[in-house]
Amino acid sequence: MLRNIPKILPPELVKTMMEMGHSDVLILADANFPGTAHAKKMIRMDGIMIPELLKAILQLFPLDNFIDNPVRLMRNLPTEPVPEIWETYRELLNKYDKDDAFHDFEFIDRLPFYKTAEDAFVIVQTGDESRYGNIILQKGVC
């Protein structure tokens, strides 16, 4: 056992985050995301919701402060309401981003989001069913 590693994080994810370098991308994907079709590396966490996973990851994971928006979301359609999950993400990022790298979200349309997923270091596929729950985190330096 190690100290101060949130118990929700499996060893494979901690190892993967440690292997990531500056500007590598980690995607927390909702249950509907086509992770298998787009991932170079995928870790399944089917019983986990993204907010609890995001909270645990942010305690260990520095966000990239060399760019304006190290956190990106899949843009919803103009006819849809703003997803409630985004406010939860904002609260967690404001609380746990130790380097003050998060200022606001960057929004990416669905197909370019999938292209980003193909280049991501890892996709963590969760069981979260929130619409537009997918979130991209770009790693910074400690």
CATH of the domain at 133: 3.40.1650.10
Reported as a single tens digit per residue, the pLDDT across 23-37 is 999 999 999 999 999
pLDDT for the residue numbered 2 = 81
Give me the pLDDT at residue 22, please.
96
pLDDT score of 52:
98
Task: Give pTM, 2 decimals.
Answer: 0.96
Q: Residue 73: beta bridge partners?
A: 107, 135
> In terms of residue numbers, what domain contains 86?
11-138
16 in Cβ contact with 130 (< 8 Å): no
Confidence band of 142 (pLDDT split at 50, 70, 90): confident
Residues serving a catalytic function are: 22, 64, 114
pLDDT, tens digit, 9 for 90 and up, residues 54-106 = 999 999 999 999 999 999 999 999 999 999 999 999 999 999 999 999 999 99
Does 133 map to a domain? Answer: yes
**Is 2 part of any domain?**
no
Q: Do residues 69 and 101 make contact, with C-beta atoms less than 8 angstroms apart? A: no
Three-state helix/strand/coil letters over 27-55: EEECCCCCHHHHCCCEEEECCCCHHHHHH
Q: Is 32 contained in some domain?
A: yes
Structural domain count of the chain: 1
Residue 61 near residue 99, CB atoms below 8 Å: no
Residues sharing a CB contact under 8 Å with residue 136, sequence separation 6 or more, in sequence order: 25, 26, 27, 71, 72, 73, 108, 113, 116, 120
Does 1 have pLDDT greater than 80?
A: no
